[in-house]
Amino acid sequence: MALSTQQRNTLYQSIAPVIGAEEAALLLDQFPANEGAELVTNDHLSLAIARLENRMYVAMVGLTTIAVGIVLAVGR
């Protein structure tokens, strides 16, 4: 979950006095600053790989169909 700048500042100000500034900064580094920096989970990665495999399969079937058509056309 990404934290907004305001959330990061509020959290830092709340925990820095308790655990120290350096430790608070290290802790906040574990939370992405924006949605694009979110950590990838195994589920997200598995889904992305499955989608890629599907696109590759569709492309392979298309190329195979074209190749068979060429072979049949040349063989006549």
Per-residue pLDDT of 20-52, as tens digits, reads: 999 999 998 887 776 665 677 899 899 999 999
**What is the model's pTM?**
0.48
Pair (2, 33) in one structural domain: yes
**Spatial separation of the C-alpha atoms in residues 11 and 21, rounded to whole Å:** 12
Number of H helices, E strands in the chain: 3, 0
Q: How many domains does the chain have?
A: 2
Q: Which range of residues forms the domain containing residue 32?
A: 1-39
Pair (32, 55) in one structural domain: no
Pair (45, 55) in one structural domain: yes
**Spatial separation of the C-alpha atoms in residues 4 and 61, rounded to whole Å:** 45
Q: Is 47 exposed, middle or buried (0-12, 13-18, 19+ CB in 10 A)?
A: exposed
Pair (48, 73) in one structural domain: yes
Q: Which pLDDT score, from 0 to 100, does residue 56 have?
A: 97
Pair (12, 28) in one structural domain: yes
Residues in the chain, total? 76
